[in-house]
Chains A and B, each alone.
Chain A
Amino acid sequence: MAQLLVNGVLRQHDAEPETPLLWVLREQLALTGTKYGCGVAQCGACTVHLDGVPVRSCVLPVSSVQAGQKITTIEALSPNGSHPLQKAWVQLDVPQCGFCQSGMLMAAAALLKEKPQPSDADIDATITNICRCGTFNRVRAAIKQAAGMAPPPAGAGAGQAAAQHAVIHLHRSST
């Protein structure tokens, strides 16, 4: 049994060494938040963090992950959906079908870690994930909001901001 450090936990798996990390996560470790979209590192739906760096796990052989390297998946981006990006995603209702959004969020989280105040050019250059529903306008807006670079949505007064928190809380308690 080989071991991987995933989301802070040492996990065992019996996948062949050349198996892409994506399929170890999905099939051996039941972490299905990370998606298969293309298998050739084109779409980014499989993005996870390897020691904080975004990688496309669909082309990364599991054997190339070194012992002790930390893998973080969408399930552990925050313990409870409280990452600023997740909050902004909810506040702006970014996802449509949502299938690409795990990868989108992981790519955005890595960007904000690297550049807490990203420019439009930074966002253009680093968010290269494919979204067929076309959520890009809202993705950009939510990244800026999470970075504290954009005011809350127009019309969102104090009452509404409170309501937004209530919603997030509701969601937490209901899941």
Chain B
Amino acid sequence: MKRVVQHHGAVCAVQINRREFLASSAAVGSLVVGFPLMAAAQNGQGAQAPEINAWVVVQPDEKIILRIARSEMGQGTLTGLAQLVAEELQCDWTRVTAEYPTPGNNLKRNRVWGNFSTGGSRGIRDSQEYVRKGGAAARMVLVQAAANEWAVPPSECSAEQGVISHRASGRRTTYGKVAAAAAQLTPPADVPLKDPKDWKLAGQPLARLDTVDKTTGKQIYGMDLSLPGMLHAAIRDCPVFGGKVLRFDAAAITNRRGVIKVLKVGDSAVAVIADTWWRAKTALDVLPITWDEGPNATVQQAQIDAFLTAGLSATEAAVGNSNGNAREVLANAAKRIEAVYAYPHQNHATMEPMNATALITLASTGASAGTVTRCEVWTPTQNGEAALAAAAEAAGLSPSQCEVYKLHLGGGFGRRGAVHDWVRQAVLIAREMPGVPVKLLWTREEDMTHGRYHPITQCKLQASWDDQGQVNALHMRLSGQSILASVAPQNMRDGKDPTAFQGLNAGGGEAMIGYSVPHLLIDHAIRNPHVPAGFWRGVNLNQNTIYLECFIDEMAHAMQQDPLVLRRSLMQKHPKHLAVLEAAAQRAGWGRPAPDVGGQKVFRGLAQTHGFGSYVAACAEVSVSSDGVLKVHRIVAATDPGHAVNPQQIEAQIEGSFVYGLSAALYGACTVKDGRIEQTNFDTYPSMRLAEAPQVESIIMPSGGFWGGVGEPTIAVAAPAVLNAIFAATGQRIRELPLSRHSLKRA
């Protein structure tokens, strides 16, 4: 494996470790008295001034603190965004550290840091322009401050590596020395940005800013937070979605060691507060709880599947993409094929289960004495602002009376973004213990059975071609769950969920279909089971790409064409889609037989898509042994994200995408029995392990002119590339996931 991680001169001390987190929290000035660590930090090194602007703090010792609003959850956005700011700031990268501004401060400062939401692979692409301007504007006022001191025009000065020079006189100073003066200057109105071709830091495979503490155990995740006097809570929500707590027998456990309180949380959950989490959890394990499981308690998986299957032939469906008259052409076609695919519910399964620590403060004096005046939450979240809103709602306060301190995420994958159910629970629990911080931690079992699941869908595809072998019609009928209907119904459009068509849209630059077909119809019959859906890394691009890319492969087989040749013929008007596909195919050696591995014949499969603004393709190489054992040997993956801010982190995202995507394809299924999710832990919801992980070769080919994301799109090509390779190896079409439901037989 060839990889260059540039540690050149570089980088960081750590970022959001506990000390700095406490220091920056203290600087916010919002923490209750009685947190000695924070008080100490306030008097010590936590100095935040001078703030040059919202994005840049330059300390007198030349240390540069860059503010990063998006959440780091492994995807490298912290480092990438810091590179973009530093590129324009022209500071010394070795002195850079990063910190999170708080959502409460963002609110107070009229959202100066913009959107905190970290999902949809948007971290860099949606904020790159304003964070670069933040860096550039800071550089401009620092240079201006030096020019003022020297009484020369700033145009005669330049800045490099945090050193400002006046060419004519040879005078030099540093950012740290002029920072206080610069902080007083009016920000420039016009802030030009560098052409990306002139980048020196951005675009380089720099080492991440947050690696070292992750190798020593020092990195503090939400689960690891410790606050003075903190108590611990374990929770059990009704196993059936929509059910409620009928009663529980608190007396049965109140005498257990460490147990402090047993309480109902909302309508549907019961929590135990204890001095340690293990005592809370084991007490909850033996707490007698009677549930009112409600009408969903009779729902079985087969009913959900049948409900979706009926949608495949329903007359009403929202149209996402259409041209020509596909129905008519298909009805009259002599040469046509048809297939039905199915994709299950899946859990995000972040390595760190959901958790949050909440502290409710009561007014101690005045007319409002004894009423709730403040709510603070410490939690790993992909969206600090949404966490703040959830905390405020649960506390019955306005967001301005609340604060959220973002802690490091042990994985996000979409689970910690749109819905903050665990924050709501933590605040409701803390309301029962005012003045005491309470940390709520879910068990893995709670996490598995109370997710916001990858939507379940099916798809019926029909295609036809003429006597000359030209594809003339394609109809994709999606049937199944709408994420927006579950998570954000206000964003539905005339009964349509626009996100359901990811990767299948005619235009828009976000997630476009790469094929031109004279008669095309893509429509969606919404069928929402009672299992709550959520944004799951890759979102609807995942199943849509499986459906389309596997079916294109089916068409190629039926038409007796090479899968790459057929795709080429349909992709002539989609050069960027085609470019990544050609790159992956060529590097993999498509068209020539793959060399055997360990005496096994190796077969290839292709897939491509466009999603989250980026073009991606993969060529998978697999073997299937005589006893049906699948081995994914190598995957060559190509990505055109427009601009590549940190190529080695893009590689990491591509590599990881195959593990996440193939874990889902091979094993990922959450099924319903008696209204509840059957899978409870990694023994019943397996995840790919090292021995199964394919060798991944990445081709990063930014073509410029647009900004695409990298955390998600590649997941979508993982499964179809492998499924198409399995077909090449066995002649078996796997149309229902996960693969573990099928036995493979070598052809």
Contact = CB atoms under 8 A, between A and B. Distances in A.
A123 B227 CA distance: 39
A135 B656 contact: yes
A163 B212 CA distance: 15
Contacts of B660: 132-134
Given A133-B656, A134-B655, A175 B352 contact: no
A160 B659 contact: no
A27 interface: yes
Interface string A94-119: 11111111100100000000000000
A71 interface: no
Nearest to A174: B13
Contact of A154 (B2, B75, B658): B2
A115 B8 CA distance: 33
Interface string A72-113: 011101000100001001111111111111100100000000
Nearest to B94: A170
B445 to A, nearest CB: 8
B207 A130 contact: no
Contacts of B13: 170-171, 174-175
A129 interface: yes
A133 to B, nearest CB: 5
A99 B215 contact: no
B565 interface: no
Nearest to B655: A137
B413 A128 contact: no
B695 A137 contact: yes
Interface in B654-706: 655-660, 663, 681-683, 687-691, 693, 695-696
B351 A35 contact: yes
A91 B7 contact: yes
B681 A40 contact: yes
Given A39-B444, A74-B216, A96-B656, A127 B690 contact: yes
A51 interface: no
5 contacts: A32-B226, A81-B215, A96-B652, A99-B221, A133-B411
B7 A171 contact: no
B691 A27 contact: no
A171 B1 contact: no
Given A43-B682, A98-B214, A137 B1 contact: yes
Interface string B161-173: 0000000000000
B76 interface: yes
B687 A130 contact: yes
A154 B656 contact: no
A167 B7 contact: yes
A14 B503 CA distance: 56
A143 B212 CA distance: 16
Given A32-B217, A125-B691, A129-B689, A100 B5 contact: no
Contacts of B411: 97, 99, 132-133
A59 to B, nearest CB: 12
Given A42-B682, A132-B687, A95 B214 contact: yes
B690 A98 contact: no
Contacts of A93: 5, 207-208, 211, 648-649, 652
A107 B562 CA distance: 45
Contacts, number: 230
Task: Give 5 closest A-B pairs by Cβ, nearest first.
Answer: A33-B217, A134-B659, A99-B410, A97-B74, A98-B214
Interface residues of B, number: 79
Contact of B351 (A130, A156, A164, A170): A130
Nearest to B5: A93
A38 B444 contact: yes
B592 interface: no
B335 interface: no
A31 B217 contact: yes
Contacts of A30: 226
A33 B353 CA distance: 15
A32 B277 CA distance: 13
Nearest to A123: B690
A136 B689 CA distance: 8
A40 to B, nearest CB: 5
Contacts of A153: 2-5
Given A132-B411, A153-B4, A139 B690 contact: yes
B678 to A, nearest CB: 16
Max chain B Cβ within 10 angstroms of own Cβ: one of A94, A131, A137 = A137
Max chain B Cβ within 10 angstroms of own Cβ: one of A38, A43, A45, A99 = A99
B443 interface: yes
B158 interface: no
Contacts of B376: none
Interface string A58-78: 000000000000000111010
A16 B257 contact: yes
Given A96-B656, A99-B221, A160-B6, A175 B213 contact: yes
A50 interface: no
B456 interface: no
B35 interface: no
B76 A74 contact: no
Nearest to A135: B656
Interface in B329-354: 349-353
B528 interface: no
B629 to A, nearest CB: 14
Given A37-B444, A43-B351, A138-B652, A102 B217 contact: yes
A75 B413 CA distance: 28
